[in-house]
Amino acid sequence: MFAEFGAQTTRFTLNGSAVAVEAPPGERLSDSLRERLGARDVKVGCNAGDCGSCSVLVDGELVCSCLMPTRKAAGRRIETVAGLIASEPLARDLAQRFRGPRRRAMRLLHPGDDGRLGRPAAAGSDTGRERHQPRPRGVLCRCTGYRKIVDAVGGVPAHLAGADDAGHAGAAIRRLDGAPKLDGSEIFGDDVAPPGTLEIFVIRSPFARAAFGFDDLDGWCARTSGIEAVLTAADIGGRNAFGVIPSFADQPAFAEKVARFPGEAVAAVVGTPEVIRDFDPATFPVRWQELDAARTRPRPAPGAPRCCTRGRAGNVMCSGFVACGDPEAALEAAEVQVERRYSSGFVEHAYLEPEAGFAQMVGDRVEIHTCTRAPVMDLDSMEILLGIDRSRIRIVPTAVGGGFGSKLDISLQPYRRLARSRPAGRCE
């Protein structure tokens, strides 16, 4: 397989050991480290060099491994978080800095859910408390705004200076998952699947609203090397709808005949990692006919294009009446009034960890490993979608690298389950 992609052997030193990988031209160092060398402590978030979760040291310099081709690592020294933690010099440094109060503080102060460890550097300000305060560098944290991380690394807060793990009354509560988040061994959704696992590419609508149809899917699948299966709405055994709130569950896993928003899934292609990596969706046999879409009003007028395939007359999901009292009268009658001004730092409502997971059959039961905050909701939705008894479905939550209100609903879970149920090498 590698020969057709022009793979070459690249040799370098990884955490003190000589390694060799065969990687095609242009493969990211982050992918080679994770998928070919098993260094899952290297996390991948943005894949664009912005978030820093894939950071490694290359000959001592901090580098985003998602921006570095594997071939450029030839002959160089690569160190990951796990290697740094295990190395003799840094182990002594960590013993001094983190095994005492600072290490306990890092675990007590709830570091960011992505579990990455920033390397301290001198802050720019030379006044007040910030004069000698270290700060993380090259790492984007959207969970805490760095405050707790800076406090833990730069100087243990007074109330934690004597904190211990005894759990006595009044003591701070130690995070049970603090240690694996510090050393990079925590398992997130993209860390579960074994190397070489078949991957899924979802075909999505390029239009706000469009009718679509497929050509010969079986023939295309049979002619395309490395493609194992093609999935559409016809493969859903239960009811093609999901949603967090049961009465609002009207989102299909795959659109049927008409796609109603840009990016709505209409099909999924299952294939080897090498093929999916370079897959061009323009080669997929789908025909599109763009249709008029409801674009301009939050509540489209009668006769507007339907935004939902089930019910929702007038494109209204729900309606009700909210009664408001008299806040001024309530304040006037209050025994005590307090007026204060508060401000908070900006927090981006997004997470670094990508939606990812893995599905496998264990006997006649499917196991779906996924980064979810609501495994029971996942189970409820999958039972409806698949049309099988819930005793044959198991949801296995992984660590969640940030949520911000997301990772409650299902996203990729149906595609993993449907793909896993198909015999390898068969397209139907």
pTM: 0.76
Structure token pair of residue 404: 């911000």
For 40, other C-beta atoms within 10 Å of its C-beta total 21
With beta carbons less than 8 A apart as the criterion, state whether 254 and 232 touch. yes
Query: Of 85, 104, 128, which residue sits at a domain end?
Result: 85
Question: Per-residue b/e over 6-20, b at no fewer than 16 CB within 10 Å?
Answer: ebeebebbbbeeebe
> According to the model, what pLDDT value does residue 113 have?
38
pLDDT at 85: 78
Rounded CA separation 234/339 (Å) = 59
Q: 151-200, pLDDT tens digit by residue? A: 666 655 555 555 555 556 766 666 777 778 877 889 999 999 988 899 99
Residue 339 maps to a domain:
no
Residue of 17, 43, 37, 34 lying closest to 353 (CA atoms): 43
| DSSP state string for 78-110 | EE-HHHHHHSHHHHHHHHHHTSSHHHHHHHHT-
Helical segments of 284-345, H only = 327-333
CA distances from 317 to 3, 120, 239 (A): 53, 50, 19
Judgement on whether residues 281 and 363 belong to the same structural domain of the protein: no
Length of the chain in terms of residues written:
428
Q: Is 307 in the same domain as 237?
A: yes
Q: From 379, 359, 355, select the one nearest 369 (Cα to Cα).
A: 359
Contacts of 202 (CB under 8 A, 6+ apart): 265, 267, 268, 269, 412, 415
Residue 126 domain boundaries: 95-186
* CATH code of the domain in which 246 resides: 3.90.1170.50
Q: Identify whether residues 205 and 300 lie together within a single domain.
A: yes
Say what the pLDDT of residue 232 is.
94
Residue 166 maps to a domain:
yes
CA distance 416 to 216: 23
CATH for 41 = 3.10.20.30
Stretch (H or E) spanning 13: strand 8-14
Q: pLDDT at position 3, please?
A: 45
pLDDT of residue 251: 87
pLDDT at 136: 55
Task: With residue 286 as reference, give the H or E element that holds it.
Answer: strand 286-290
Q: Is residue 124 part of a domain?
A: yes
pLDDT at 185: 87
Is residue 210 assigned to a domain?
yes
Helices then strands, each counted (H, E), the chain: 11, 16
Q: Which residues, other chains included, contact 33 with Cβ-Cβ below 8 Å and sequence gap of 6+?
A: 14, 39, 42, 56, 65, 78, 80
413 close to 374: Cβ distance less than 8 angstroms: no
For residue 223, give the 3-state DSSP assignment.
helix
Question: Could you give the CA distance from residue 250 to residue 221 in angstroms, rounded to a whole number?
Answer: 30
Number of folded domains that form the chain: 4
- pLDDT computed for residue 248 by the predictor: 79
In a domain, 215, yes or no: yes
Answer yes or no: do 56 and 108 share one domain. no
Do 169 and 163 meet the contact criterion of CB atoms below 8 Å apart?
Answer: no
Is residue 358 helix, strand or coil? Answer: strand
Residue 331 resides in a domain? no
Instruction: Tell me if 77 sits within 8 A of 59, measured CB to CB.
Output: yes
242 φ, ψ to 5°?
Answer: -150, 170
- φ, ψ for residue 78 (rounded to 5)? -110, 130
Question: 294 and 385 share a domain?
Answer: no
d(C-alpha 68, C-alpha 62), whole Å: 12
The string of pLDDT tens digits covering residues 36-88 is 999 999 999 888 988 888 999 999 898 999 999 999 999 999 999 888 877 75
The pair of three-digit structure tokens given for residue 60, joined into one six-digit string = 């001592």
Choosing from 315, 348, 374, the residue where a domain stops is 315
Residues of the chain with pLDDT below 70 are 1-5, 88-168, 170-174, 297-302, 309-310, 346-349, 420-428
DSSP 3-state of 271: strand
Domain edge (last residue) among 85, 108, 143: 85
- 366 plus 300 within the same structural domain: no
Strand 393-397 with 365-370, pairing = parallel
* Whole-angstrom distance, CA of residue 244 vs CA of residue 236: 19
What is d(CA 235, CA 229) in angstroms, rounded to the nearest whole number?
Answer: 11
